[in-house]
Structure 1
Amino acid sequence: MLSPHNFALPSDRQAALRPPRRTMKRLCLGALAGLAGALLSGASLAQSEDPATPWNWSDDTVFNAVNQVRAGKDLTPEQWPGGARVAVLLSFDVDNETVMGLRTGEVSIGPLSQGQYGHRVALPRIVKLVDDEAIPSTFFFPAWSLKIAPEQAALINASGDHEIAVHGWIHERNTSLDADTEARLLAQAMDTIEEISGRRPVGYRAPSWNHSPATLSIVREMGFLYESSLMHDDRPYELVQNGEPTDLVELPVDWILDDAPLMNPLGNRYMNPRDIMQVWIDEFDKAWEEGTLFLLTLHPHVSGHRSRIVALEGLIEHIKSKGDVWFATHEDAARYVRAQAGMD
């Protein structure tokens, strides 16, 4: 089976989008050097402890497992810009064809048609809504999603208000990759998105919201401003790796604040979009009471359908009626909390 990690462009576009070899070599070597201790530690633990009997693990094994990536200091500022009570971050994972058949290598025309709906119909509908409502938003792309339909970048960039960030190469399952391959794919994704969008991404969201033992070291090596894949908190916080602060901002996600698990009409968890809207409203109201952060993740190929976008429309109406809100891109929020916490 053809590996989706190695899908190629037509030859006339390969040269323009090929990541510089020096960039990839530097990244891979740096990431691997940083990972050596952790991976060797993991290998030795695997030899001395039976992974099938965690009830017999030593204290060191348990602490080493949970301390790989943890939440550090809370980065919630005393107040948000303009005296706002809560920050609202809308993010869109523009997966399209990458999750509708490409990432597994099991290509099927029906699912791919759903992926094309994402950039052909749904993304324009989503962008029109946030532009009409003057809401800066962040769009996370697997690089291949943007390569298939590069016009998406111009659509998002037209207002000058939004951010394009990186969400992997082909929505690969990064937790199943070796460190070298994971680093190579992220380097390719960064260079490709920069080439198409005109600006190098500063934010990272892992495919499937998970980290391999290598992911955080690779992300740090690449110099990202923020990460947005993990669920240690409802508030922005600093990531800690093996007990050491990383100087990297985490903007946390959560499955209840994601449309995909709850709007799959073929799944047994399907909910009416209007019911999901009420869940999101309740989440926002609590964030407003606490004076913290409300971060929602949507997928255009999911929420961009006519009967589902009503959930986002209703949520926006409620948020605006509440007032004292700062709408921001993930980049703007990360820069603000860093500055307020004295991290710059």
Structure 2
Amino acid sequence: MKLPAHARYAHSAIPTRPTYEWPGGKRLAVLVVNNIEHFAYRAGMGSDSTGLNPVQNQRSYAWRDYGNRVGLWNLLDTLDELEIPSAHNINSAALEACPEIGPALRARADEFIGHGRSNSERQDILWEEDERRLIVESRDILARHAGKPPLGWLGPYIAQSNVTLDLLRESGFAYVMDWPADDQPFWMATRAGPILSVPYSVEINDSPALIARQHSAREFAEMIIDQFDELLRQSEKRPLVCSVVLHPFIVGQPHRLKPLRQALRHIMAHRDKLWVTRPGELAEYVAGLPRGLVPGSEV
């Protein structure tokens, strides 16, 4: 009896792969990726400070809205202080509802990444044509605010339907971050050609850590440091990616900023050994590597 499977990528054990380097001869790429989200009022989906599946009311809505009113600006100040480039998974509704966000991200030369319309809804339950419409609408709104179309996509709730990858590739996206299967990028098959999977952590991610598992901010900071230190050690053997995933309504809370800042400062103390970059820049670099170096590029 066969188990359900996919044909998006073949198995590849990391020790068996060719070795390559990131720009400047570096072996560890660091991505700091933030999520900017907008929610329906008293409806749909959305996390809460007390858990992932609360009743949608004014309190849970306001807690999340704190991220766009205050938390994002706290986080951007921290990234500016440490001179860290960043990328942002952005609900297109957030850019329409919060007019200050787009200009602030452009001023930092940060990357806009498609993240659906709102995290009050999921795309994996939609009919194909409805999902295509959602992807294209989100892409076009981000393009208008950023001045260029987004290269990358992360679905709300990191969810995909059976045809999401095909629809993304057909809509001009070059990479996705919905498949946390590796510490290296790898190519995936779609009906319109290959699309790159860029590592995006569901472990070093403040939402599951601080909300679902109720870790403290200091525990999350220790997780970031431990992940980074171990990947830096492992990168002596092979190129790797260390991603740190944030949400401003979570880590943008003042009591969580100090531990986060300490963790990021620890990473930046090793900056001469790192390629501190954005997912789009990493994807463009990988696309230029010789065939056969990155899993999925062999044919």
TM-score, length-scaled by structure 1: 0.74
| Aligned residue in 1 for 2:178 | 229
Give the conservation status (yes or no) of the 8 Å contact 2:74–2:252. yes
Map 1:238-253 → 2, pairs under 5 A = 238-240=187-189, 246-253=193-200
Contact 1:86–1:288 at 8 Å: present in 2 too? yes
1:131 is displaced (CA, Å) by 1.9
Tell me the residue number matched to 2:31: 89
Give the one of 233, 239, 242 matched to 1:294.
242
Q: Name the amino acid aligned to 1:93.
A: N
| Equivalent residues of 2:183, 2:199 under 8 A apart | yes
Task: Report what 1:55 is aligned to.
Answer: none
Q: Which amino acid aligns with 1:297?
A: V
| Aligned counterpart, 1:47 | none
* Alignment gaps of 5+ in structure 2: 47-54, 292-296
| Comparing 307-316 and 297-306, the one that deviates more | 307-316
Q: What is the RMSD computed on CA atoms of the aligned residues? A: 2.4
Counterpart of 1:319?
Answer: 267
Q: 1:47-66 CA distances to partner (integer Å, 9 max, x unpaired)? A: xxxxxxxxxxx32xx2xx32
* Secondary structure of 2:187's aligned partner: strand
Deviations 1:89-122 (A, max 9, x none): 0101111435x75544986322221232111101
Task: Compare CA radii of gyration and give the structure with the larger one.
Answer: 1
Q: How many Å separate the matches in 1 of 2:222 and 2:10?
A: 29
> Following the alignment from structure 2 to structure 1, what is the Cα–Cα distance between the partners of residues 233 and 170?
37
Distance 1:86 1:102, change over 3 A: farther
> Alpha-carbon deviations, 1:306-329, whole Å to 9, x = none?
111223212211112234011101
Partner of 1:69: 8
User: 1:186 Cα shift?
Assistant: 0.9
Contact 1:71 1:232 in 2 (8 A): no
Q: Secondary structure at the match of 2:189?
A: strand
- Following superposition of structure 1 onto structure 2, how do residues 116-265 of structure 1 map, counting pairs within 5 Å? 116-160=65-109, 162-171=110-119, 172-240=121-189, 246-264=193-211
Q: Contact 1:71–1:238 (CA<8 Å) still a contact in 2?
A: no
User: Which residue does the alignment assign to 2:220?
Assistant: 276
SS of the residue corresponding to residue 230 of structure 1 reads coil
The structure with the largest helix share of the pair is: 1
Q: Give the Cα separation in 1 of the matches to 2:184 and 2:290.
A: 13
Query: 2:81 and 2:10 mapped to 1: Cα distance?
Result: 36
TM-superposed CA distance for 1:233, in Å, is: 1.1
**Alpha-carbon separation, structure 2, partners of 1:135 and 1:114:** 26
Shift of 1:155: 0.9
Measure the CA separation in 2 of the matches of 1:301 and 1:69.
Answer: 34
Paired amino acid for 1:308: R
Superposition deviation, residue 125 in structure 1: 1.1
Q: Is the 8 A contact 1:202 1:331 kept in 2?
A: yes
Cα offset for 1:86?
0.7
| CA–CA separation in structure 2 for the residues paired with 1:303 and 1:273 | 8
Contact 2:85–2:108, Cα closer than 8 Å, also in 1: no
Q: 1:107 to 1:76 in 2, by over 3 A?
A: farther
Contact 2:34/2:89 (<8 A) preserved: yes
Summarize the Cα distance change of 1:305–1:341 in structure 2 as closer, same or farther, 3 Å threshold.
farther
Letter in 1 for 2:101: Q
Number of equivalences? 275
Opposite residue 209 of structure 1, the aligned amino acid is I
Q: What is the identity percentage for the equivalent residue pairs of Structure 1 and Structure 2?
A: 25
2:125–2:161 CA contact under 8 A, matched in 1? yes
Unpaired segments ≥5 residues, structure 1: 1-57
1:173-213 Cα shifts (integer Å, max 9, x gaps): 11111111111111111111222232211111111112111
Contact 1:88–1:293 (CA<8 Å) still a contact in 2?
A: yes
Conserved 8 A contact 1:68-1:213: no
* SS in structure 2 of the partner of residue 201 of structure 1: coil
Alpha-carbon distance in structure 2 between the residues aligned to 1:336 and 1:135? 19
User: Structure 1 pair 102/299, CA: closer, same or farther in 2 (3 Å)?
Assistant: farther
Give every structure 1 segment of 4 or more consecutive aligned residues whose post-TM-superposition deviation is greater than 4 Å. 71-77
Select the residue among 253, 258, 263 that pairs with 1:305: 253
